[in-house]
Amino acid sequence: MERIHFNSGNLTLEGLFTKGSSERGVVVTHPHPLYGGDMYNPVVQAVADAYIQAGYSCLQFNFRGVGHSTGHFDNGRGERADVIAALECLTARGVDAVSLAGYSFGSWVNAHITADMTPVAHQIMVSPPVTFIEFTEVGSLPMLKFVVTGGHDEIAPPGMVAPLLSGWNPEARMEIIPEADHFYGGCLDRLQALVSGQL
């Protein structure tokens, strides 16, 4: 794992890059910056580990204003530019097929990245925060393959997430970890195993 820095417009973002054994790569985005979310989050790390073990190059990074990334929180607008910059950073490092994985706020930001912005081969969402952030602007997500949430997740309740799949991608698979809440305490191994099963 290598600590790196890359530019998002006039900002400098910090990240953790792990070189994989294949030409595939993934950007993993973190939960809400104003509630302590960063690239070291245990759920983010569990998702990253699933990709790394599958041979992907992996870039976890801190959104603007988080940790040593410069700038300030921008309600998801500037954060979308940060994701695109991260994807471009991976491509510049020789990754041909780039995927997106996001947890909570990170999954919401990722959902706004469209094919005309940058090509994404594959996307997963972990606990999209549908009771906390409005998803009405999110349209079709043909690259979305997998959504996972917890049976006790009050921020991403299965009963509210499942109906949205028909608009995002009706072919996407959804899994529920019955005993998990939004933070996946005691369920990280199960989460990692489910993500691994989609790669």
191 alpha carbon, distance to own chain's centre: 14
The pLDDT confidence band at residue 96, using thresholds 50, 70 and 90, is confident
Give the pLDDT of residue 133.
Answer: 96
Give tens-digit pLDDT for 137-184. 899 999 999 999 999 999 999 999 999 999 999 999 999 999 999 999
CA-CA distance, 138 to 3, in Å (whole number)?
Answer: 32
Strand extents, DSSP E, the chain: 2-8, 11-18, 24-29, 57-61, 97-103, 122-126, 144-150, 173-177
Give tens-digit pLDDT for 24-40. 999 999 999 999 999 99
38-58: burial string, b at 16+ Cβ within 10 Å, e else: bbebebbbbbbbbbbebebbb
Say whether pLDDT at 134 is over 90: yes
In angstroms, the first-to-last Cα distance of the chain is: 20
Higher pLDDT, 192 or 118: 192
| Contact call for residues 5 and 39 (beta carbons, < 8 A) | no
SS3 call for 119: coil
The amino acid present at 73, given as its one-letter code, is F
| Residue appearing with tokens 């294949």 | 22
Domains observed in the chain: 2-196 (3.40.50.1820)
The pLDDT confidence band at residue 50, using thresholds 50, 70 and 90, is very high
Task: Work out the mean pLDDT of the chain and round it to a whole number.
Answer: 96
Average pLDDT over residues 111-137: 91
Give the pLDDT of residue 118.
Answer: 80
pTM (two decimals): 0.97
Give the pLDDT of residue 103.
Answer: 98
